[in-house]
Amino acid sequence: MTTLSPENSLSARQSASFILGLHPFVRTEAWKFLTGYFSWQSSQDERLTVDSMRRKNYKALCQMYEKIQPLLENLHRNFTETRNNIARDIQKIYDKDPLGNVLIDKKRLEKILLLSYVCNTQAEYQQGFHEMMMLFQLMVEHDHETFWLFQFFLQKTEHSCVINIGVAKNLDMLSTLITFLDPVFAEHLKGKGAGAVQSLFPWFCFCFQRAFKSFDDVWRLWEVLLTGKPCRNFQVLVAYSMLQMVREQVLQESMGGDDILLACNNLIDLDADELISAACVVYAELIQKDGGIALFLCRTHHSQGGPSSGVFRLKDTETHFFLMT
């Protein structure tokens, strides 16, 4: 529930225009800079070298995985269970466009997801990764690009979609934000609507993917998250803006937690531009009301495009890969 004046609200919406996404024609290459796959300062020759290096590193990971796969299958129950979960999730993906053309290669997608699980110790496989990885496969041509873009995206967004790292923190910040900006709504959510906010974890796990009407809208929001603009933890402001869409209905009907969750799950086919703009208005309101809460929620994002060392470790083995990135 915004308290900005009409003039300030309009100004905040207009200021959002510079982060409203990329033209589809440049998206594939631009993402390599946004994620840190390439350096912004690199020359064309340097980018060719980096891409060749990433291809070789990806191939080396695949070869090493093939060598230790029997060991993982025999000694690590979690590996077999996760592999089965990935296979089941992949089969649920609808892989064709309205004309019946196949959009993705499920076998390749399954291989990349399994390799990511085995190599990236910070991000255990979770439901939702299969849909996120699919969007990366749709964006680029080669498997090594899909793999590395996903790794860099996770790190550039500070693993905010990973359950055991960022999701719980996001939910706590969301509760804090509601209490600060909308005390009336906060009281209802703590009373009759108890548990509703904590049940919104799929928003963050799927990085809001299921709320939009098109893949372009998903990419558009993700591009904003990658810029770190207008603030860090912008995903929390996005979630708050979505909750505001059901606020009046929740209060008027005095909804309980389950009904609130159902209303939130019905938020689909959203327009990314409108949601980003609404979240920017929330950011402007935060800055206007109190610098302390704004610093807590929205510190400037200082990441410069992923890790400098690119350390990946094959889980539960003594093999370490120190891959230059």
pLDDT at 82 over 60: yes
What is the spatial distance between Cα 246 and Cα 257, in angstroms, rounded to a whole number? 13
pTM given for the model:
0.85
| pLDDT-based confidence at residue 122 (cuts at 50, 70, 90) | confident
Could you give the angle at the alpha carbon of 154 between the alpha carbons of 151 and 160, nearest 5°?
165
Residue 296 is predicted with a pLDDT of: 58
Q: Reduce the DSSP state of residue 41 to 3 states and report it.
A: coil
pLDDT at 215 over 60: yes
Across residues 113-137, what is the average pLDDT? 92
pLDDT at 14 over 60: no
- Chain-centroid distance of CA 241 in Å reads 17
| pLDDT-based confidence at residue 15 (cuts at 50, 70, 90) | very low
Instruction: Return the residue matching tokens 């209060």.
Output: 251
Across residues 2-18, what is the average pLDDT? 46
Which of 314, 306, 315 is closest to 54 using CA atoms?
306
Across residues 300-321, what is the average pLDDT? 41
Across residues 66-70, what is the average pLDDT? 92
| pLDDT-based confidence at residue 236 (cuts at 50, 70, 90) | very high
Sequence-distant (6+) residues with CB within 8 A of 66 are: none
Sequence-distant (6+) residues with CB within 8 A of 198 are: 171
Q: For residue 119, give Cα distances in angstroms to 89, 124, 131.
A: 19, 10, 19
State percent of the chain over pLDDT 90. 67
Across residues 177-191, what is the average pLDDT? 94
pLDDT at 186 over 80: yes
| Segment 143-169, tens digit of pLDDT | 999 999 999 999 999 999 999 899 999
Higher-scoring residue by pLDDT: 301, 115: 115
Residue 288 is predicted with a pLDDT of: 82
What is the spatial distance between Cα 219 and Cα 144, in angstroms, rounded to a whole number? 19
